[in-house]
Amino acid sequence: MHNIQLAATQIVQQVLVEGRNLNQVLDESLRRKSVWTPAQRAALQDLSYGTLRFYGQLNAVLNLLLHKHLTDQRITYLLLVALYQLQYSKAAQHAVVDYAVRSADMLNPKIRGLVNAILRNFLRNQAELLAQAALSAEGRFNYPVWWIDELRAQYGERATALLDAGNQHPPMTLRVNRQRATTAEYLEQLAALGIAARCIEPDAVLLDKPLSVDKLPGFFDGVVSVQDAGAQYAARLLDVGKGMRVLDACAAPGGKAAHILERAGVAAGVEMVALDKDEKRLQRVAENLQRLDLSATLLCGDAAHPGEWWDGKPFERILADVPCSATGVVRRHPDIKWLRRKKDLASFARQQAEILDALWPLLASGGQLLYATCSIFNQENQEVIDSFVVRQADALRLPMDLPQQGLLPNDQHDGFFYALLQKTA
């Protein structure tokens, strides 16, 4: 276990100290561990994600246990991972402590006694320490204080439920490719394999328990994809019709573009242009479309600078699934809580406005643009749209069958915001 504990320590440290993305760091780490079993890989993922999910609380507890700051940061992160295991995992307590002491021995032998003392102290006074840690907002909610304040200002009493929702394990939802099966047919296939699931949206099937994709019938043949139910609203809201020319301006990895094409059907002759700024991520769009047997024109370019890639032909539909703080999907990416800064919201809002302004001239008269984010902050949602419709006299916000403030994360979907705009001139 101490190998896993040490590997998780390094991952958590790289995220918190170097500001690196958790997915990437974990992927790199797993690639170096080709001999690890699936169970060991899953344990590493759990320790890394879990420690970051509960970092606010674990760090508050550690500060109560330490009498002075540790000079060796590696030991700080080792202790955080071990505290996560003691508090949240099923691992035997004595084994967690023993492994942490052995890991400390490898990192810094002078500190092994301290590691042992701190973890045993935690076990002796667990309830009291947790109660004391919960007195600070960061320790209670597991988010930085600016985030808590911002949500409270925006959502009032509902903020607590939203903060807690972001600390749950995310649901796993599939999108059934309606070219290949109905949700009812796919549910039957799952039931035949003993996989419990239910339909929650026209194409969305929610699994009772997450499962690796190689266990899903038909996944590699394009019968299903993994996609949150909130993300599946986009294709429905955009309502693409026969023969339309459609731009997905921030397309990678291609989930929403693929859903639009699946819904329309090949016979509809939809002409999809899938743009993304990131060449590597665009490759994932190509792979996904290939698996699903769909086609689109892929372009690498900046949505804020259409002069560099647009052929001058207008689009009847545009999806602007813009870069954002991703604060609606923190249960899938708990590192976001500690990597984002308050000032990032203003910087995203500027980029979002720039992309909207640049894309608007590409929309045909009478055409529709769907603006989408996976943020739960007004600054990137309502405020961006409010100022856009003031700037753009020919933009009309259309009503949608959705709450005005967007979809808030719950046990069926992540947090998303959508606004549908029509060009009136």
Catalytic (active-site) positions: 374
d(CA 316, CA 384): 22
Residue numbers at the binding site for ligand SAM (CB under 6 A): 231, 250-256, 275-278, 281, 302-304, 321, 323, 355
Task: Strand 197-201: give its sheet, edge to edge.
Answer: 197-201, 204-207, 172-176, 224-226
Hey, what amino acid is at 408? L
What b/e string do you get for 161-193 counting C-beta neighbours within 10 Å, with b at 16 or more? Answer: ebbebbbeebbbbbbbbbbbbebeebbebbeee
The least distance separating ligand SAM from the CB of residue 303, rounded to whole angstroms, comes to: 3
DSSP 8-class letter at 156: G
Give the CA distances from residue 317 to residues 157, 255, 350, 355, 418, in Å, rounded to whole numbers and listed in that order.
38, 17, 23, 15, 15
The least distance separating ligand SAM from the CB of residue 209, rounded to whole angstroms, comes to: 24
Residue position matching structure tokens 């899903």: 216
The least distance separating ligand SAM from the CB of residue 224, rounded to whole angstroms, comes to: 15
Nearer CB in complex with ligand SAM: 56/170: 170
- Contact residues for 276 (Cβ-Cβ < 8 A; gap 6+): 250, 251, 252, 282, 285, 299, 300
The rounded Cα 258 to chain-centroid distance in angstroms is 19
Tell me the two tokens of residue 374: 């996976």
Nearer CB in complex with ligand SAM: 98/302: 302
Tell me the two tokens of residue 361: 């001239």
Angle at 158 between CA 330 and CA 319, to 5 degrees: 50
Q: Which residue is nearest to ligand SAM (CB)?
A: 250
* Among the listed residues 170, 172, 183, 175, the one whose alpha carbon sits nearest the alpha carbon of residue 208: 172
The least distance separating ligand SAM from the CB of residue 330, rounded to whole angstroms, comes to: 14
The least distance separating ligand SAM from the CB of residue 252, rounded to whole angstroms, comes to: 4
d(CA 9, CA 48): 8
Nearer CB in complex with ligand SAM: 244/250: 250
Nearer CB in complex with ligand SAM: 314/323: 323
The least distance separating ligand SAM from the CB of residue 360, rounded to whole angstroms, comes to: 15
The least distance separating ligand SAM from the CB of residue 174, rounded to whole angstroms, comes to: 15
Nearer CB in complex with ligand SAM: 83/421: 421
Assess contact for 227 and 259: CB atoms under 8 A: yes
Nearer CB in complex with ligand SAM: 321/414: 321
Nearer CB in complex with ligand SAM: 2/256: 256
